[in-house]
Chains A and B, each alone.
Chain A
């Protein structure tokens, strides 16, 4: 069995003159949780829509579970499950009625259907409330049911599109546990989010997406370690942000690099706290007035900021 379950080459999606996805190429291994991390509008949902045969690619190819999304969409659809960003449920029906209907759409019938509905209800801890109308559920319960509906037909690949939007921390943790259990059972999960904590905690590998392009793709640990010990943003009094000062900063211990950025000095460090001590000593010695100071800890948010110059939730 091939280790690669999703392979995209030069995937493009255009809407008129707008290019929402700009030639993405990547491969996802069977049984991994692969994250798409990026702000709203980065092209994550569009990419998932192409991989799940909802949208036809404008260019490039994608093979999912051994089948081309453009040439054999039905074969792909039988092997994937989608948990859309919206709560794609019928609120006046019960959880069991919702699952019963979605199961029938996938061809499940009779006893097999009932058993599978029971299993997924158990999996997302909703057995006791299975007969209550979905509209009476909490946000977290609805999200869990939303996931359960994507699992009924035992897909090889599960697309989770921002599955924790609007969920309280407790329910979010429960969702993380469900997703990790699915991965442990051998399912491949493509997980889109704009929460860097989720990508860091859950994903085996993360693609950082911005304006339809990947700006980085690696394990969260590698992406963060490449960043070093964090970033320090400094504002200094007018007239002091010159090449001489930048040179002095760059020569300090624990500093990897320094550059001007949007009227500030951005300092990449090996260890932010130690570098900060050296910076303060330098500014005292050169009589430089600090007007702003911000220490950014090393995480995916900082990686994104470093790579795109923007914050994830801008």
Chain B
């Protein structure tokens, strides 16, 4: 029985590797996408549609009034929508971290409890720095974070400098005029207060507590998993057309006259494509490692994600093969599903820059879960335990696809 499965697997692999077009679709296309798109889009990730403001959650723990002034200033900036509550609750550091960890928001600004006090202290001591924290997901591109950093820094710097200047003016005047008669005192306009010219504000970028490594993602960490997932799902078309050919050419009919149980035949038709998927993933990540120095993260977690992804892709393949009755139907379904799911699932464009409804929709695609899992490993440094939810969901998709595929499968 195992021998029959392996014989069928070996036969299908031989057929596949003799098909230059199939090889190009499965291996060269995603590889070219990775190379071209990663390079082309370096530094060009868009921060979102112009018509849609960037949503900026703010946690204000400040005991004084300075943070409130910065928040008000940020609220006046075009393209920024400040959020101080989430689901009708005032944001706390914990809830803000959860927002970033869940991917609902890419960045949260946290004003510490002593924000105003630090500004006051700076009046007396130039060595005091005033800290603001930006909680970010390390997987979010630096191109998205940079403008937000600039706006927060600018607004905070203005408020702090104003506060410090006013305090120093008041203090200078008080000390200079104390010994002069009132009529001899100069008008304030003639007084110059020297500022040190150094930045007051220090923006500290941190990851949510449960995320281990705080690094900026790069274009490869988006595009390598993105186009790998896209390429892996291209197996759907190859698999479906192979099964249709077996039906059309009568080879299934010949095989079913042999003492070969149908489940064994079906297993033999699935296994080679699962193996091809694993080879694809190994080649894509291997090439990215060699060409771009992509770091793999935890190898067990990466392999687990690869195996779960391959299961979902081959599951979808068997489902499409079962649902499509003709070559035209199958290729139509394949194009529709592989391109649409890849786009919606964040393979081509990160989901965090999508409009809310599309981001929600992406969670119904295996692609989005695969992307999240790979970025957990590559960017956030998660080990096996950290990616189990994503791998589990992918296996769930695989299970549903297989069930529908096997239920609807016809050998004639």
Q: Is B18 an interface residue (CB 8 A)?
A: yes
B410 within 8 A of A: no
Given contacts A84-B253, A87-B249, contact A101 B11 (CB under 8 A): yes
**B228-257 vs A, Cβ < 8 Å mask (1 yes, 0 no):** 000000000000000000001111011111
Instruction: Flag whether B7 is at the interface (Cβ < 8 A).
Output: yes
B193 in the interface (beta carbon within 8 A): no
Given A87-B249, A101-B7, A104-B3, does the pair A92, B257 have CB atoms closer than 8 Å? no
B257 touches A104 (CB 8 A): no
A85 to B10, CA, bound (A): 26
Whether the pair A84, B15 counts as a contact (CB closer than 8 A) is no
A65 to B259 CA separation, bound complex (whole angstroms): 15
**Given known contacts A77-B259, A105-B258, A86 and B11 CB-to-CB distance under 8 angstroms:** no
> Which chain B residues numbered 236 to 286 have a C-beta less than 8 Å away from chain A?
248-251, 253-260
Cα of A45 to Cα of B8 in the assembled complex, Å: 26
Instruction: Select from chain A the residue with minimum beta-carbon distance to B251.
Output: A88
B14 interfacial contact with A, CB 8 Å: yes
B52 interface residue per 8 A CB criterion: no
Q: Known interface pairs A92-B19, A93-B18. Does A82 touch B7 (Cβ–Cβ under 8 Å)?
A: no
User: Nearest Cβ in chain B — how far from A105, in angstroms?
Assistant: 5
When distances are taken between beta carbons in the complex, the residues of chain B under 8 Å from A97 are 11, 14
CB distance from B350 to the nearest CB of A (A): 40
CB contacts (< 8 Å) of A74 on chain B: these are: 259
Given contacts A74-B259, A93-B14, A93-B18, contact A105 B253 (CB under 8 A): no
Q: Are A105 and B249 in contact, with the CB atoms below 8 A?
A: no
Asked whether, in the complex, the Cβ of A88 is within 8 Å of the Cβ of B11, the reply is no
Collect the chain B residues with CB atoms within 8 Å of residue A78's CB. Answer: 259
- Is B42 at the interface (CB under 8 A from chain A)? no
Q: How far is A207 from B152 in the complex, measured between Cα atoms in Å?
A: 91
Known A-B contacts A85-B250, A104-B3, A105-B4; the reply to A90 vs B257 at CB < 8 A is no
User: Which chain A residues lie closer than 8 Å to B11 at the CB level?
Assistant: 90, 93, 97, 101
What residues of B have a CB within 8 angstroms of the CB of A133 in the complex? Answer: 18
Q: Is the CB of A54 within 8 A of B257?
A: yes
CB-CB nearest in chain B for A48:
B257
Q: Are A105 and B7 in contact (CB under 8 A)?
A: yes
* CB within 8 Å of B: which A77-123 residues: 77-78, 80-82, 84-93, 97, 101-102, 104-107, 109
Q: Does A63 contact B (CB under 8 A)?
A: no
Query: How many contacts between A and B, using CB within 8 angstroms?
Result: 69
A149 contacts chain B at the CB level, 8 A cutoff: yes
Cα–Cα distance between A222 and B260 once the two chains are bound (Å)? 41
Q: In whole Å, how far is A83's beta carbon from the nearest beta carbon of chain B?
A: 8
Q: How many residues of B contact A (CB 8 A)?
A: 22
Give the number of residues in A that approach B within 8 Å (Cβ atoms): 30
> Is the C-beta of A303 less than 8 angstroms from some C-beta in chain B?
no
CA gap between A104 and B248 in the complex, in Å: 22
User: Whole-angstrom distance between the alpha carbons of A91 and B19 in the complex?
Assistant: 11
- Chain B's closest residue to A97 (CB) is B14
CB distance from A95 to the nearest CB of B (A): 14
- For B256, list chain A residues within 8 Å (CB): 54
Task: From A54, A88, A105, name the one whose CB has the most chain B CB atoms within 10 angstroms.
Answer: A105
A47 CB-CB contact with B under 8 Å: no
Neighbouring B residues of A105 by C-beta, 8 Å: 4, 7-8, 255, 258, 260
Q: Which of A263-294 contact B (CB under 8 A)?
A: none
For the complex, is A302 an interface residue (Cβ under 8 Å from B)? no
- A77 and B258 contacting across the interface, CB-CB below 8 Å: yes
Q: A54-B257, A82-B257 are in contact. Are A89 and B249 (CB under 8 A)?
A: yes
Q: With A and B bound together, what is the CA distance between A133 and B14 in angstroms?
A: 12
Of B7, B18, B19, B258, which is in contact with the most chain A CB atoms at under 10 Å from its CB? B258
- Nearest-neighbor residue (CB-CB) of B411 within chain A: A54
Min CB gap A155→B, angstroms: 10
Contact (Cβ within 8 A) B251 A104: no
Whole-angstrom CA separation of A87 from B248 in the bound complex: 10
Of all chain B residues, which has the CB nearest A52?
Answer: B257
User: Within the complex, what minimum Cβ distance (angstroms) separates B85 from chain A?
Assistant: 63
Measured between beta carbons, the chain B residues less than 8 angstroms from A84 are 250, 253-254
Cβ A149 vs Cβ B254 within 8 A? yes
Q: How many angstroms from the CA of A13 to the CA of B4 in the assembled complex? A: 31
Most buried by A among B15, B18, B254, B255: B254
Residues A88 and B250 in contact in the complex (CB < 8 Å), given A77-B257, A97-B11, A104-B7: yes
Encode contact with A along B1-28: 1 for CB under 8 Å, 0 otherwise: 0011001101100110011000000000
Given A90-B11, A92-B18, A93-B15: A106 and B258 within 8 A (CB)?
Answer: yes
Q: Are A92 and B15 in contact (CB under 8 A)?
A: yes
Bound-state CA distance A150–B255 (Å) is 10
Cβ contacts A to B, 5 pairs, < 8 Å: A77-B258, A81-B257, A91-B249, A93-B15, A149-B254
Interface residues of chain A, those whose CB is within 8 Å of chain B, are 52-54, 74, 77-78, 80-82, 84-93, 97, 101-102, 104-107, 109, 133, 149-150
Contacts A52-B257, A92-B18, A97-B14 aside, 6 further interface pairs with beta carbons under 8 A come to A80-B257, A86-B250, A86-B253, A88-B250, A97-B11, A105-B260
| Top 7 closest pairs, chain A to chain B, by CB | A86-B250, A88-B250, A104-B7, A88-B254, A82-B257, A84-B250, A77-B259
